[in-house]
Structure 1
Amino acid sequence: MPTFRKFAFPDGATADKLLQDLQPLDFAVPLGHLCAATDAEGNCIKTRPEFAVDILFHDTCPEELAAFVVWPTPCGVHCFSGWDEQYAADHKEFATPSK
Structure 2
Amino acid sequence: MFHNRGTTWNNPNQTMYGGILYAMADSAMSLACEAAGKPVVTLDLAMNYLAPAWADTCIRAVATLIHQGRTTMVGLCDFYDDRDRYLAHGRGTFFVTDKNEV
Mark yes or no: TM-score above 0.5.
Answer: no
Task: State the TM-score, normalized to the length of structure 2.
Answer: 0.25
The structure where strand makes up a greater share of residues is 2
Task: State the TM-score, normalized to the length of structure 1.
Answer: 0.25
